Amino acid sequence: MEEQINQMPRIGDLAPDFEANTTYGPIKFSEFNKGSWVILFSHPADFTPVCTTEMSGFALRSEEFKALNTKLMGLSIDSIHSHVAWVNNVKKNSGVLFNFPIVADIDMKVSKLYGMLQPNESETAAVRAVFIIDPTGKVRLIMYYPLNVGRNMDEIVRALKALQVSDKHNVALPLNWVPGEKVIVPPPKTVEEMEEREKSDYEMMDFYLAKKDL
């Protein structure tokens, strides 16, 4: 039991597959993930204030995620009836529809699989976890927040864009990078590459820290 709670996928691992009941019906994760990025995120409980702001934040930016070939999937240890009632309540009160599936993880199966249950924080509610999973099913980035601190939606979007830019252009992204700024060219691996670099028009602090425009 303890071992199961402590288990969590690491960066580079294949995202553990599961089947679950959601607000958009039963879903097999590996099918949902096929051909697109997925942001799988947990929240502690329905009908709570911080969670309402976060879920609304995801919903309000869902078109932006769609444009980034990214699907959203929420999760909490609540029943499907609670989820549906909350979705309905928020829609009525604010006009925002949680237009992505929310897993009803009432048996904590998925929470345990993804290390979302952190017993010293809560034994019954998932912490605020974010897993960014690529179209091959690999976990690429993980964030964990405690119950009382909401996440930063701009950072989630920025991190997703950074992963996609890194994959597409074989570059790394420096501190606080945002799209449009210079990117880091991987350090040279041979003397020949190092000499080539000296002739380049990269912005260089030294041969190992070189930046370029995309």
175 by Cβ neighbours in 10 Å (0-12 / 13-18 / 19+) ranks as exposed
Q: What sign has the CA pseudo-torsion 44, 48, 53, 57?
A: positive
Tell me the closest approach of the beta carbon of residue 148 to ligand BEZ, in angstroms.
5
When asked if residue 108 is in the footprint of ligand BEZ (CB under 6 A), the reply is no
When asked if residue 45 is in the footprint of ligand BEZ (CB under 6 A), the reply is yes
Tell me the closest approach of the beta carbon of residue 53 to ligand BEZ, in angstroms.
8
Q: Which of residues 8-27 bind ligand BEZ (CB under 6 A)?
A: none
Closest C-alpha to 112, from 18, 201, 212? 18
d(CA 71, CA 92): 24
Radius of gyration for the alpha carbons in the chain, expressed in angstroms and rounded: 20
The answer for residues whose C-beta is within 8 angstroms of residue 69's C-beta and 6 or more apart is 35, 36, 37, 135
Residue span binding ligand BEZ (CB under 6 A) among the ranges 26-34, 42-50, 59-67, 93-101:
42-50
d(CA 64, CA 88): 23
When asked if residue 51 is in the footprint of ligand BEZ (CB under 6 A), the reply is yes
d(CA 81, CA 92): 16
Choose between 40 and 127: whose C-beta lies nearer to ligand BEZ. Answer: 127
Residue span binding ligand BEZ (CB under 6 A) among the ranges 20-28, 49-57, 75-83, 162-170:
49-57
Choose between 30 and 82: whose C-beta lies nearer to ligand BEZ. Answer: 82
For residues 124 to 163, the per-residue mask of contacts with ligand BEZ, x marking binding by CB under 6 A and - elsewhere, is -x---------------------xx---------------
Count of residues engaged in binding ligand BEZ, rule: CB under 6 A:
9
Cα-based distances in Å from 23 to 73, 103, 188: 10, 7, 49
Q: Helix count (H) and strand count (E) of the chain?
A: 8, 10
Q: Is 51 a catalytic residue?
A: yes
Choose between 50 and 142: whose C-beta lies nearer to ligand BEZ. Answer: 50
Marked catalytic residue, from 38, 39, 51, 75? 51
Under the rule (CB under 6 A), what is the footprint of ligand BEZ?
Answer: 44-45, 48-51, 125, 147-148
Among all residues, which ones are annotated catalytic?
51
